[in-house]
Structures are given as structure tokens and as C-alpha cells.
Amino acid sequence: FVQLPAIRSADRTFSALVDADGIGLSDTLKTRRRAKLLNLFSELCPQILIIELFPFGRRQLEFELIPLLDAAKVAKQRPVIVSSVRDILVEKNNPHRVEEMVKKAKAYFDRILVHGDPDFITFDKTFPRALELADMLHYTGYVVERQRHASSNETKGKGEVVVSSGSGAVGELLLRSAQRIRPYTYLSDVNWRLLAGHYMDEKVFKSIHDAAVEGVIVERARPDFINLLKNCRLSISQGGYNTVMEVLATGANGIAIPYAGGQETEQTLRVKLMEERGLIRQIPEARLSDKILIDTVNNTQIQKPSKNNRINLDGAIASANLVASWAKELKESYT
């Protein structure tokens, strides 16, 4: 693992990148990141180069990704160049941007790993020109780490309600609402475990923590989250890819509040499709209120999630097998 000089999104709309101090990226910082990345590529001479989301996203990282891709294309032993994307893209309404994506995919990439199940949703549903890239697409199934960080206490969270959130304003709203509604639900007699994202402001976290009554546990996100889901009575979460797939993999009863800020459409569409299959219940972010959360929680006593889950959740092993097969093919081509 090599850490490049840190950068992050300025806000939840992903409109700009900033450095670790929250300042816009300087040319010096961009140069440092680019040089370190190119030096690393030269040192490693990889057989496989995998880039997450680009060219279907991460446009603001072109200052380092395009030079890396150019170097890979002319390398003495050219690696297999792979784009790794989720099942659903944020919808793009600008035809020029979509055209750019297609051109860059064809110019630079050999394969595209789509971490989804075509029987659930196909890539063309959110990328209409996917047919032009059909020979490059490889569906893997959904990626979920089923055994990640198993707890030494396998019964941790038994019978609890697990409420998990990210670090933003909606995460705070969800945790505070969960604290208020617990007495008015059919699960008022069990422990509620509220998990806050690691980037939630410390003052906000402390305020939620200090407001907890008996039967309510407030913690930062835990590495044994999978175990908690396996053992819980009910999961209430935001709608991130990893979380909802872990809910499915563990068979937990689940309620999801998908993030819909800015131009975000990915979580809403995925959770909507899951709800249509009876796999999870959703509350649109804009409709989240104490009353709606109470009603939804209480309805889980009557409406159990469908056990007929045919969604492919073996994306991790399928991805590894594909990458290994491409590396083997490349090695054989050099001999």
C-alpha cells in the first residue's frame, strides 16, 4: 500500500477536490501526486492496471490518471488496463461528457469490470451507450466481504436494532431520529446500537452519544459490522453499495435511506430495485421523519424480507478470478 499526498472531496456534491487542510489543489500538489504515481508504475511494472470508476467518473483526477494511462499504453510490457465500476452510474445528462467517456474507454482500456448482476440491472440502464463497449464488459456479481473482521464474540449484537450512518447531515438526522422513535416501536424493549461514520464531526457524535438512554448504545463504526448484521433483529442504514449488499448477504431485515443529495441517483435506484424485489424497505431521504421511520419499523414486524434472493453476491471471487486469468494470458503472450 502506497499513500499518495492526501486529497478529498470538498463536500457531498463532489464538486471540487481539496487537500488535507481543505484548500483547493495546488499545481505543486498535483505534480507531487502525479510523479509519485508514475514512479510507482515504473518500479512495479504491473501486469494488470485497475482504475476505479474512470473514465465514467473521477474526471477531476485526469491530471494524474491520463499521464498514468499514457505511460501504461507505451510500456515495454504493456499491462492489461481495466476500469472497475459499480452496477449503477450517476446519470449523466450531458451528451458531450458521455461521448468523452466512450472515447477514453476505447482509447485506454482493455476490460471493464462491472460489479453487479445483469439479472438485477444491466450497465446500459444508467450508461445508454454501453452497447458500444459490450465486448469489454465483464459482470462480476456484487462485491461483498461476507467474513470481514469477524468478532471474537460471535453473538455480539444478538437481537439488536443496528442503525448505521455515514458522516454527513443525513447520517446525523438518522441517528437522532432513531433515538427519539425507539420507545414508539415494537422493538422498544431491545438494544438499539447506533453506529456513526468515522468522519462525523466529533461534537455532533458526542452530542448524540451523551443523549443516549438505557438500551441505546452509540459508537463509531465497527470493523465487525458484518457480525452485527448477522445477529441483529433489524438494520436501519443509509443506502451505500457496501452496506446494502452486506444486509443482503447476511439476510438481515433492512430499512435503507439512500443518499440523494446533489446529482446523486445511484443509491436511490439500487435501493428502489431492491425494494421492488421485496429485499429491503426504503425511505426516500427527503421523506425521512420520525413518524415515517416509526411506521416503517413497525411494518417490518408484518412484512418480512423475501428470502428468494437470487442476486449474485460472489463478485469478489469472480473479480479475482478474472484478473488472474488476464494476468495469465498476458504472461503467456510474452513467452
pLDDT tens per residue across span 216-274: 999 999 999 999 999 999 999 999 899 999 999 999 999 999 988 777 889 999 999 99
Can you give the pLDDT at residue 156? 82
Strands 7-9 and 17-19: antiparallel
The mean pLDDT of 135-143, rounded to a whole number, is: 98
CATH fold of 45-142+315-333 reads: Rossmann fold (3.40.50)
pLDDT digits (tens, 9 = 90+) for 72-88: 999 999 999 999 999 99
Can you give the pLDDT at residue 26? 95
The mean pLDDT of 173-200, rounded to a whole number, is: 95
Distance (Å, whole) CA 123 – CA 249: 22
Can you give the pLDDT at residue 16? 86
Instruction: Identify any residues that bridge with 263 across adjacent strands, giving them in sequence order.
Output: none
Can you give the pLDDT at residue 263? 74
The mean pLDDT of 86-111, rounded to a whole number, is: 93
pLDDT tier, 301 (very low <50, low <70, confident <90, very high otherwise) = confident
Q: Is the pLDDT of residue 57 over 70?
A: yes
Domain ranges of the chain: 45-142+315-333, 161-299
Q: Is the pLDDT of residue 123 over 80?
A: yes
DSSP secondary structure, 237-296, as one string: EE--HHHHHHHHHHT--EEEE----TT--HHHHHHHHHHHTTS-EE--GGG--HHHHHHH
DSSP letter at 269? Answer: H
Q: Is the pLDDT of residue 149 over 60?
A: no
Average pLDDT, the chain: 91
Can you give the pLDDT at residue 294? 98
Can you give the pLDDT at residue 12? 66
Domains 45-142+315-333 and 161-299 share a fold: yes
Report the CATH superfamily, name and number, of domain 161-299.
Glycogen Phosphorylase B; (3.40.50.2000)
